[in-house]
Structures are given as structure tokens and as C-alpha cells.
Structure 1
Amino acid sequence: MDLTEQIKQLEADLLELGSLLEKAERKRVQDLLKQEQKKVEKELAAKRQQKEQQARKEADPSAATKAAYTVKITSYAWDQSDKFVKIYLALKDVHKISADNVEVKFTERSFSVLVKDLDGKNHEMTVLNLLYPINEQDSYKKIKTDMVLVMCKKQSTKKWDCLTAVEKQSKEKEKPSFDENADPGEGLMNVLKKIYAEGDDEMKRTINKAWTESQEKKLRGEEMMDY
């Protein structure tokens, strides 16, 4: 069913709902009919807008591309199940444009998104170096209200700690490194120095007091041991 026929059917549904609403006497029935009426009106408006965009493209196929400029999608959220990694891209009114305007391409370790002619702009995002390989044939997109959902099919059910290998490397760099051959006392001293440097006045007083008491005990030969 083409767009023209879909619009005709929705217009007929709207007329019939209006007729039923005039005849309805009970409030609950009226409320249900009004809810359905609003739903059909919203769908009809989206189809009409889609038809207008289609007509403009047919008149000048290059017009949409010429009019739009490209912006990067930098904000996203992600989640996962045993089978999929899901990336959520919030894009207002994306559900109102043609699904053909939303292109998502997958490789084994990446995906890219291009949303064309949305609010006079193209919206683009590319994610490289995914943490683990995905099955590109079974990966796909979903278009929801004001959102594009990218579904990356996992090759295995392994849990992902982060989305990309780059993020993983960045996290690992932030972790403190430990040398098995290093003097444990020296390592402890470095930790204490770091706490002292970053701590507030109360923390510094506490460390100074503990250090002073420890040195006094050593001088008196009363060094404490833990049992």
C-alpha cells in the first residue's frame, strides 16, 4: 500500500471516528474514541509530511542533500542483553521522516549511522573498535518515537564492560599499576603521599599525627605488630 492509499485510509478512519463520537453517549466510550482519534490524527500528519518530502525529492532528488548540512551525533546511551548490545540515539521527530532516510551500516567491529534530512540537517555517527566482534548480518536498526535504536548482535554472550576497545584501554590506564618486585613499604609510602596531597586539612592532620606516633614508637623500641 503506497503513501497515497495509506493517507486515504487514515482520512476515512478519522471521518468514521468522528461520526461514532457524535453518536456516543457514555463518557468512557467518548474518551476511548477521542484517544483513538488523536492517534489517527498523529499518524495521518506523519504520513502527509512523509508524502511531501517524497514529492520534493521526486521534483529534485538532490535538493534535500544540498539543503542539509551534516552534524555529528556525540551523545548516546547503551545497554546490553545476552544477545545484543543496544545503542540509543535521541533524535527529535526521527520517527516522522522516511525510514529510508535512516541508514545504519555494520562491520564486525564497527557501525555507522546516517540520518538524512532531519530538521534540515544530516546527523552522522561512527563507532569504531567495538570491544568484541558482532554479527553484522543479524544486526539491525529500530526507529522509535524520537529515537534510533541500533541493535548490534553479539557473536558470543560475553558481557561487555564498555562499548569500545578504546574506552577499555582508557579505563585500564586509569588503574594504578603494581610492580611485584617493588618494595611494599615504598608503595605504601607513595599511596600515603598521594592521600596527603589530595586530602583536606583534617586528613593531613590525621596522617601527620599517625606518622609522628609511629616514629616515636620506633625510637622507643616499641614498634607494634598485628596479630
Structure 2
Amino acid sequence: MDLTEQINQLEADLLELGSLLEKSERKRVQDLLKQEQKKVEKELSVKQQQKEQQAKRQADPSAASKAAYTVKITNYAWDQSEKFVKIYLTLKDVHKIPTENVEVNFTERSFSVLVKDLDGKNHQMTILNLLYPIEEKDSFKKLKTDMVLVMCKKQTSKKWDCLTTVEKQSKEKDKPSVDEKSDPSDGLMSMLKKIYEDGDDEMKRTINKAWSESQEKKIRGEDMMDV
């Protein structure tokens, strides 16, 4: 169904809702009809805006290529269920542009998003090296108010600790290594040494004072044992 037909159907729905509202006598029924009326009016407004944009593009075929520039989408959030990994991209008014202006392509270990002609710009995002493989054919997009939701269908129902293998490698690299055979005090001394080297004069005086007091207590303890 094209935009013109969708608009015609919504306008017909509004007329019928108005007719039912005039005939209804129960307040609860009237309230329900008014709620539905507002929903249809909002949907109709969005479709009319889409049709206006479509008419502009048809009048000027080069309009789609006149987006000032392409910007990268760098901010996103992600979540997961047993079957899907969900990526949330917040883009103001994205629900007002034609659905075909939002392209999402999937491979087994990646996906890319291209939003065309939104606020005079194209918006692009590519995620490579997904942590686990996904089902390309069963993955899809959803357009919500000010948001693109990318649904990646998991091949296996396992929990993802992160979105990509790059993130996983980064986490493993930053994770401090532990040598089970090493003396725990060696790690403490290394940490104190780093704090001392990186600290300001006040920090160095504090560490020196604490070290001196510790040594004095150790010496006093040894003297007591000799007695």
C-alpha cells in the first residue's frame, strides 16, 4: 500500500471515528474514541509529512543526493534477549522519513546502517566482528519514535558479554594479570611505587611518612622479641 492509499485509509478512519463519537452517549466510550482519534491523527500527520518529502524528491530527482554530508553514528546502546541482540540508535525525527530511507544490511558477523536525508544529512554506522555469528535472514530493523532498532538474530542462544570481538580483546588486555606463584606483597609494592612516582609532593610526603612509621613499628617489634 503506497502513501496515498495509507493517507486515504487514515482519513476514512477519522471520519468514521468522528461519526461514532457524535452518536455515542457513554462517557467511557467517548473517551476511548477520542484516544483512538488522537492516535489516528498523529499517524496521519506523519504520513502526510512523508508524502510531502516524497513529492519534493520526485519534483527534484537530485534532491536525495543533496544531503550536505554523511556523519558517522558513534553513540548507541545495546541489549539482548535469549534470541536477539538489540542495538538502539537514537536519531531525532527518524520516524518521519520514509522507511526506505533507512537501510540496514546484515552479514554473519556484521551489520551496517545508512539513514538517508535526515535533517539534511546522511547518517551511517558499521559494526564489524560481532562476538558471535547471527542469522542474516532473520535479522531486521524497526523504526520507532526518534529511534532505529536493529534486531540481530543469534545463531545460538548464548549470552553475549560484549558486542564485538574487538571489545572483548580490549577488555582482556586491560584486565590485570595475576601470577599465582608470585608474592602478593610484590604487587602491593609495585602499586605503591607507581603511586609514589606519579604523585605530587604531598602524596610523596604521605607515603614516606607511612613507610617510616611502618619501619619503626617493625624495629620496635624485633627489639621486644630480643628481650
TM interval, shorter chain, is 0.7 to 0.9
TM-score computed with the length of structure 1 as normaliser: 0.82
CA drift of 1:128 comes to 1.7
Q: Structure 1 residues 45, 155: closer, same or farther in 2, change over 3 A?
A: same
CA drift of 1:79 comes to 0.3
Amino acid at match of 2:78: W
CA drift of 1:41 comes to 0.8
Tell me how far apart the structure 1 counterparts of residues 66 and 103 of structure 2 sit (CA, whole Å).
18
1:128 — aligned with what? Answer: 128
TM-score computed with the length of structure 2 as normaliser: 0.82
Tell me how far apart the structure 2 counterparts of residues 116 and 76 of structure 1 sit (CA, whole Å).
18
**Cα shift readout 1:91-122 (whole Å, capped 9, x = no counterpart):** 22222222111101112221110011222221
2:153 — aligned with what? Answer: 153
2:63 — aligned with what? Answer: 63
Tell me how far apart the structure 2 counterparts of residues 198 and 20 of structure 1 sit (CA, whole Å).
76
**Cα shift readout 1:111-149 (whole Å, capped 9, x = no counterpart):** 110011222221111112222222222221111222111
CA drift of 1:40 comes to 1.0
1:37 — aligned with what? Answer: 37
The answer to whether the Cα contact below 8 Å between 2:86 and 2:152 also exists between their aligned partners in 1 is yes
1:7 — aligned with what? Answer: 7
**Cα shift readout 1:36-89 (whole Å, capped 9, x = no counterpart):** 111111111122222222223333332122144322211111001122111011
In the alignment, structure 2 segments of 5+ residues that lack a partner are none
Tell me how far apart the structure 2 counterparts of residues 28 and 184 of structure 1 sit (CA, whole Å).
72
Q: Structure 1 residues 221, 18: closer, same or farther in 2, change over 3 A?
A: closer
Tell me how far apart the structure 1 counterparts of residues 93 and 65 of structure 2 sit (CA, whole Å).
18
CA drift of 1:194 comes to 4.8
**Cα shift readout 1:9-56 (whole Å, capped 9, x = no counterpart):** 211221222233233333322222211111111111122222222223
Report which stretch shifted further, 95-104 or 190-199: 190-199
Two-structure CA RMSD over aligned residues (Å): 3.0
Report which stretch shifted further, 88-97 or 173-182: 173-182
1:110 — aligned with what? Answer: 110
2:75 — aligned with what? Answer: 75
Tell me how far apart the structure 2 counterparts of residues 23 and 155 of structure 1 sit (CA, whole Å).
54
In the alignment, structure 1 segments of 5+ residues that lack a partner are none
Alignment of 1:1-227 (within 5 A): 1-180=1-180, 182-194=182-194, 211-212=211-212, 214-216=214-216, 218-220=218-220, 222=222
Aligned positions, number: 223
CA drift of 1:169 comes to 2.2
Tell me how far apart the structure 1 counterparts of residues 30 and 180 of structure 2 sit (CA, whole Å).
76
CA drift of 1:207 comes to 6.9
Tell me how far apart the structure 2 counterparts of residues 196 and 22 of structure 1 sit (CA, whole Å).
81
Amino acid at match of 1:119: D
Report which stretch shifted further, 161-170 or 37-46: 161-170
Tell me how far apart the structure 1 counterparts of residues 204 and 18 of structure 2 sit (CA, whole Å).
76
The answer to whether the Cα contact below 8 Å between 2:67 and 2:122 also exists between their aligned partners in 1 is no
Tell me how far apart the structure 1 counterparts of residues 126 and 75 of structure 2 sit (CA, whole Å).
12
Tell me how far apart the structure 1 counterparts of residues 11 and 100 of structure 2 sit (CA, whole Å).
24
Tell me how far apart the structure 1 counterparts of residues 206 and 154 of structure 2 sit (CA, whole Å).
51
